[in-house]
Structure 1
Amino acid sequence: MISLIIPMIVVLIAMMFSKKLINDREKSSPFECGFDPKSSARMPFSLQFFLIAVIFLIFDVEIALILPIVIIFKTSNIMIWTKSTMFFIMVLLGGLYYEWNKGMLEWAN
């Protein structure tokens, strides 16, 4: 019985004299990787940056589609290969011209 009472008394005394508070400011605030968590969490989002990222993603996928064209060259008819490759590249250039004409590639207004 004494072996249970003495450790409980020691734990209670340690908790009473502890310097830690239950509502410690640092522990109750969220971890924000060095940023002040008390300021506004919302920052203005640049829609133009998003459009550039989407354009990059689309052209990145299209480059992945262009790479196998070189391998197909060996096994296909040269005329069909040339027409299909030129059509694909013209579609890409048409999309690039449209984006350029709409001003989507300009960084600053």
Structure 2
Amino acid sequence: MMLLSLLMALSLSMIMLLIYWLVSYSPAYSSSKLTSFECGYSPLSLPRRPFSVRYFILVVLFLVFDVETVLLFPLLTSMTTLESVATGLMLTMFLLILLVGLLYEWYNSMLEWVM
């Protein structure tokens, strides 16, 4: 039974690859499309062009809030199962710290993309 499942999976994969190969359209590529793409900059341009520090600050802030959001999900899950005062207090403190951080960034206009 296991061998039959393996053979069916392999044959289905091969059939799908064959159909893709027969149906796919491959246009003639230009030389610019075959070059590497590095963050919107040409790899042949001057390497010492200045970067905007605002972009990097915004990316770091996004990562910080993204990680905090990931940490919030298990806390909310445990909140629904435990129903204790300590968990509720921990959730409230966590959200308060997030709110204070967000208000600080907003007050210092760190979230503005254009200066």
What aligned pairs does 1:24-43 form with structure 2 within 5 A after superposition?
33=36, 35=42, 37=44, 39-43=45-49
Tell me which of 18, 31, 47 is aligned to 2:53.
47
Residues 12-59 of structure 1: per-residue CA shift (max 9 Å, x gap): xxxxxxxxxxxxxxxxxxxx638473x422222010010000001101
1:76 Cα offset (Å)? 2.9
Tell me which of 97, 100, 103 is aligned to 2:103.
97
State the distance in 2 between where 1:63 and 1:36 align. 35
Read off the aligned partner of 2:113 and give its amino acid letter. W
Unaligned runs of 5+ residues in structure 1 are 1-31
Read off the aligned partner of 1:33 and give its amino acid letter. S
Root mean square deviation of aligned Cα:
2.3
Partner residue, 1:80: 86
Unaligned runs of 5+ residues in structure 2 are 1-34
State the distance in 1 between where 2:71 and 2:109 align. 26
Identity of aligned residues (%): 36
Residues 45-78 of structure 1: per-residue CA shift (max 9 Å, x gap): 0100100000011011111110101221245343
1:81 Cα offset (Å)? 1.5
Partner residue, 2:70: 64
Secondary structure, in 3 states, of the residue corresponding to 1:104? Answer: coil
Question: What is the TM-score normalised by the length of structure 2?
Answer: 0.58
